[in-house]
Structure 1
Amino acid sequence: MNTEPGNKDFPEIALAIRDLTVALPKGMERGYAIEGVSFDLHRGQILCVVGESGSGKSVTANTMMGLLPKAMKISAGSITLENREIVGMDAEALRSLRGRVVSMIFQDPLSALNPLMTVGAQIDEAMTAHGFGTQVSRRERAMELLTEVGLPEPELMYHQYPFRLSGGQRQRVMIAMALALEPTILIADEPTTALDVTTQAQILKLIRDIQRRKGMSVMFITHDFGVVAEIADSVVVMEKGSVVEQGSAEKVLKSPDHPYTQRLIAAVPHLRGDDRRSLQTAHSAPLLKVRNLVKTYTSGSLLFRTRRVVPAVQDVSFELAPGTTLGVVGESGSGKSSLGRLLIKLMAVDSGQILFEGQDIVTQSESEFRKLRPKIQMIFQDPFASLNPRMTIGYILTVGPMAHGMPARQAREEARALLKKVGLDPGAYDRYPHEFSGGQRQRIGIARALMCKPQLLIADEAVSALDVSIQAQILELLDRIQRETGVSMIFITHDLRVASQICDDIAVMQKGRIVEQGPPSQIFTNPRSAYTRELVAAIPGESVQSLQPEMAGP
């Protein structure tokens, strides 16, 4: 009997990868993107491929789909997909498999969807490419798919453009497109990384339900072991292009053998049941007071009856003491980021007060507020988009302080010292943003924010797109910097696990309003709002019952 995996004698294996090696161009840090990778995806199961950025997870998936960039080549190995050998297959044959046999959900749905085509046209295009049905039957199938993935008003969604949808809705459209031709294998590449906890829980449930209903095999790529605990049947752990551990989800989660797996599991943030040791001194006056803040977005036209009014921030009030951190949590669209932009005057306030050191900055003109700008700094969500790719790190760090009067020599010295403080080599001063990883770029963003010695830092989803291990390092860095400098922070995040690690107080936002505010011990172990309870219940791999008090502070 033939014992090769993936053939007719072993029908339980939908995908078999053996000794797969993909070479990188010369001059890179290592010779191979992946080297000697072997694993099986069993029929009707969910296999999670876990690892940090650069571990080779996405390269493995793109190799299966025939989507490797031209600079990367398969140098050895085999991929057997439903009894077909993929390696060496011509482009036309590969194209016939995509969507029909194996389909992929990409990490960033906004960049993967065509902004110039409606949702319906994009689903129709996938079916047309494989000669599926008539125009009428394709439209009926698209409606059926939009309903199946839980999108509201399928008729309306069919004619919408991607930019009009939320992140969760765009991800559902991607899933609908991937399911259009009912593939036997579905590859999901980090489909929930940047989503809030409730949307993430919905997407995970949706993928799991569809997989069970249709008997599909799913290869789910992630860096979060919390997600693994929620969805996986089996697990493959990758590090620097190699498989270091694999086995059942229960075995890998409960008794991991490899030190790298143990480090990844240890780095996953867990809800803390206690309160953080605060730097606040007794009877210190608030650094920031926000009173009845209101911001409303309007779009469309009254004339054509397309006027749309969205209340982004509604009657928000809170105080922030020196040296403390207020976490602002909530789903996408809750008003978190809008609040952060209002606090730093990147948007105009409709009404209300923002009292910084007793001064109402809402009423100040831009020229009046200019002298306060160094005291209020922001760490942005996407460090690559917020760093000018044409400027060196040194210029990025020094241009702001020099514009506010700091001598050039002093600015250069402080920039190099800050790079060292945030864990980077001072030699980074003369390099460009593209030469750094995501975690390193976020450290540069933190250094830039600290250059002006601010009293208030606003961190807008500063760790949401980072690997859990890098995330843990950045949180530790922010905590250490706060304890060294006494800076106050507004920490905006959709991840309640992260908020519990670093925040003294937490404000929960829903539809522009603060529905609950209090210390982590109250918010996470005894939430008063039904909405807060929903957020806590939606955290992957976590429950309120599993909370254990930890020692405050790192």
Structure 2
Amino acid sequence: MTAPTLTGDTQEVALSVRGLTVSLPEGMERAYAVRDICFDLERGKILCVIGESGSGKSVTANTVMGLLPRRIGVSAGSIILNGREIVGMDPEELRSLRGREVSMIFQDPLSALNPLMTVGAQVDEVMRAHGEGTPASRRKRSIELLTEVGLPDPVLMYNQYPFRLSGGQRQRVMIAMALALEPSILIADEPTTALDVTTQAQILSLIRDIQRRKGMSVLFITHDFGVMAEIADSVVVMEKGHVVEQGPAVQILKAPQHPYTKRLIAAVPHLTDKDRPALQDAGTRQVLRVEGLAKTYRSGSALLRSLRVVPAVREVSFELTNGRTLGVVGESGSGKSSLGRLLTKLMDSDGGRILFEGTDIAPMSETRFRPLRPRIQMIFQDPFASLNPRATIGRILTVGPIAHGMPYAKAREEARALLELVGLDGGAFGRYPHEFSGGQRQRIGIARALMFKPTLLVADEAVSALDVSIQAQILQLLDKIQRETGVSMIFITHDLRVASQICDEIAVMQRGRIVEMGPPSQIFLNPQSDYTRELVAAIPGERNDRPAMAAADG
């Protein structure tokens, strides 16, 4: 590990962490969340803390903010923030620093924002909690902040509730709240993880622009080396609570020293100029044919002049043969997930045909479709939310097949075999979902979908929330399963790098329509649509104008 330079110069260092150790309660898989970690955040710079889930990144950020749960405490070490020691600081004194000197952008803005308060009220609350200004001046300042972070029609946005905003807009509100008191240090905890590539690029550009204009110091937490390449001046790599490597971003990217860093960088998906090798016997039989599929969402009332009509899927047509994977990519709101729900009959279409193995399932009632449902299975984005927390893994895997007439003994045998196939041991059968990591839970979700021996798998953002190394494992697992079973897949994702790795063909969706379709080599290396070109240009870590690389050249 490269040791940090102990300058001791508070003029140069905004945040200095020395020997920080945070203990975990008894019974956890390890005794410490972080142990003896040291790093410096220089003034006016962006420091990225990178590592997998469980590496201690978020615990470090929450320790700086004084937001640790009561069961977790600092057992050793020092945190100097703008020249002041905050370990052991009085809670009231620390509360006065929070927001004024150091602010935080949280990973999930929907859960971090109060659903019962308007956007403007929440930005106003940050200033009011510190006794800043009058109601009129706070309103004026809030609208200025909403303008600064690039929200459309800030006066209208001021009175909106969070659920009416897109993911990218909610994240911009979180940034506005963090900037309300103009702190000198900004902590961003995975602020772009769940965003599509263009929104992600906008948020990264916004943070970088604000940081430069205001001379802020930024502690940016991420598990994505592509994001790190876009924004970081320096990098700290963490593994299981330890700092294993740190240094300038260019050095870490081009010449990593630690084996863990090398493994993480190797696992990052990149656009490929080669199409995926075809499976043996793939493409000989049509599994799915979609013709003119349409779905429109309606809300409000025409009588009250509040009717809102949103065409989610418009005249979508494509074919899918056995053993092949069709990727569906696009921004949030493009209609990707709506298409997946239509194909699995989780909602009814307004028009068009869905020919599954020659039978049009679109007009079928649930009663008529139920015998076919086992053959069309879905892998959901959030495996924790889609697994019953009160049921063992064995029950989760066997309850469906048993309901369709499979004897328990056979279902149990097949469930154990599938757990081994997805890389889990037989002991997982009797355990509960909370006992597994995110990647392991996603493996369980895949096993559950395979229990029915489906002809078609629809994977809806199945790897978007996973670390790059776990993501790579899941992609390899899906490829292995497809080669062994010949199952066809619809792979929905906002990560174009992932799509290029696993898909035989890619459909690009914009505002409910497919604007371009073709093999990955064409879509990513020779896109025909302006929209596709914009998506490809926004992929983090794939552009030629990355700041870190520019710094290296300079």
- The TM-score normalised by the length of structure 2 is 0.97
1:231-254 superposed Cα distances (whole Å, 9 cap, x missing partner)? 000000000000000000011110
| 1:172 lines up with 2:181 in the alignment | no
The alpha carbon displacement at 1:318 in A equals 0.2
Structure 2 CA distance for aligned equivalents of residues 544 and 480 of structure 1 = 33
Structure 2 CA distance for aligned equivalents of residues 358 and 445 of structure 1 = 28
**Aligned residues of 2:102 and 2:183 also touching (Cα < 8 A):** yes
Structure 1 CA distance for aligned equivalents of residues 318 and 62 of structure 2 = 47
**Aligned residues of 1:6 and 1:16 also touching (Cα < 8 A):** no
Q: Which residue of 2 aligns with 1:134?
A: 134
1:225-282 superposed Cα distances (whole Å, 9 cap, x missing partner)? 1111100000000000000000000111100000000000000000011111122637
The alpha carbon displacement at 1:364 in A equals 1.5
Superposition RMSD in Å: 1.4
- Pairing 1:244-323 to 2, within 5 Å after superposition: 244-279=244-279, 281=281, 284-323=284-323
The gaps in structure 1 that reach 5 residues or longer are 547-554
Q: Which residue of 2 aligns with 1:27?
A: 27
The alpha carbon displacement at 1:298 in A equals 0.4
SS at match of 1:372: helix
SS at match of 2:412: helix
1:13-68 superposed Cα distances (whole Å, 9 cap, x missing partner)? 00000000000001111100000010000000000000000000000000000000
- Pairing 1:487-526 to 2, within 5 Å after superposition: 487-526=487-526
The alpha carbon displacement at 1:285 in A equals 3.2
SS at match of 1:371: helix
Amino acid corresponding to residue 483 of structure 1 in structure 2 = R
SS at match of 1:479: helix
The alpha carbon displacement at 1:90 in A equals 1.0
Q: Which residue of 2 aligns with 1:75?
A: 75
- After superposition, the Cα gap between the structure-2 partners of 1:407 and 1:284, relative to the gap in structure 1 and judged at 3 Å, is same
Q: Which residue of 2 aligns with 1:115?
A: 115
Amino acid corresponding to residue 72 of structure 1 in structure 2 = I
- After superposition, the Cα gap between the structure-2 partners of 1:545 and 1:355, relative to the gap in structure 1 and judged at 3 Å, is farther
Amino acid corresponding to residue 434 of structure 1 in structure 2 = H
SS at match of 2:338: helix
The alpha carbon displacement at 1:544 in A equals 8.6
The alpha carbon displacement at 1:366 in A equals 1.1
Q: Could you tell me the percent identity over the aligned residues? A: 78
**Aligned residues of 1:19 and 1:78 also touching (Cα < 8 A):** yes
The gaps in structure 2 that reach 5 residues or longer are 547-554
SS at match of 1:226: helix
**Aligned residues of 1:328 and 1:490 also touching (Cα < 8 A):** yes
- After superposition, the Cα gap between the structure-2 partners of 1:5 and 1:142, relative to the gap in structure 1 and judged at 3 Å, is farther
SS at match of 2:212: helix
SS at match of 2:383: coil
The alpha carbon displacement at 1:545 in A equals 11
SS at match of 2:110: helix
Structure 2 CA distance for aligned equivalents of residues 104 and 429 of structure 1 = 40
- After superposition, the Cα gap between the structure-2 partners of 1:280 and 1:350, relative to the gap in structure 1 and judged at 3 Å, is farther
Q: Which residue of 1 aligns with 2:103?
A: 103
| 1:363 lines up with 2:358 in the alignment | no
SS at match of 1:287: strand
Amino acid corresponding to residue 155 of structure 1 in structure 2 = V
| 1:334 lines up with 2:334 in the alignment | yes
- After superposition, the Cα gap between the structure-2 partners of 1:283 and 1:324, relative to the gap in structure 1 and judged at 3 Å, is closer
Structure 1 CA distance for aligned equivalents of residues 279 and 545 of structure 2 = 29
**Aligned residues of 2:322 and 2:488 also touching (Cα < 8 A):** yes
Q: Which residue of 2 aligns with 1:549?
A: none
**Aligned residues of 1:295 and 1:313 also touching (Cα < 8 A):** yes
**Aligned residues of 1:20 and 1:36 also touching (Cα < 8 A):** yes
- After superposition, the Cα gap between the structure-2 partners of 1:282 and 1:454, relative to the gap in structure 1 and judged at 3 Å, is closer
Q: Which residue of 1 aligns with 2:465?
A: 465
SS at match of 1:62: helix
**Aligned residues of 1:16 and 1:81 also touching (Cα < 8 A):** yes
Structure 2 CA distance for aligned equivalents of residues 456 and 511 of structure 1 = 25
Q: Which residue of 1 aligns with 2:481?
A: 481
Q: Which residue of 2 aligns with 1:434?
A: 434
Amino acid corresponding to residue 493 of structure 2 in structure 1 = T
**Aligned residues of 2:10 and 2:83 also touching (Cα < 8 A):** no
| 1:376 lines up with 2:387 in the alignment | no
The alpha carbon displacement at 1:10 in A equals 3.5
**Aligned residues of 1:280 and 1:322 also touching (Cα < 8 A):** no
SS at match of 2:296: strand
SS at match of 1:385: helix
SS at match of 2:77: strand
The alpha carbon displacement at 1:6 in A equals 7.9
SS at match of 2:327: strand
Q: Which residue of 1 aligns with 2:191?
A: 191
| 1:182 lines up with 2:182 in the alignment | yes
Structure 2 CA distance for aligned equivalents of residues 419 and 132 of structure 1 = 57
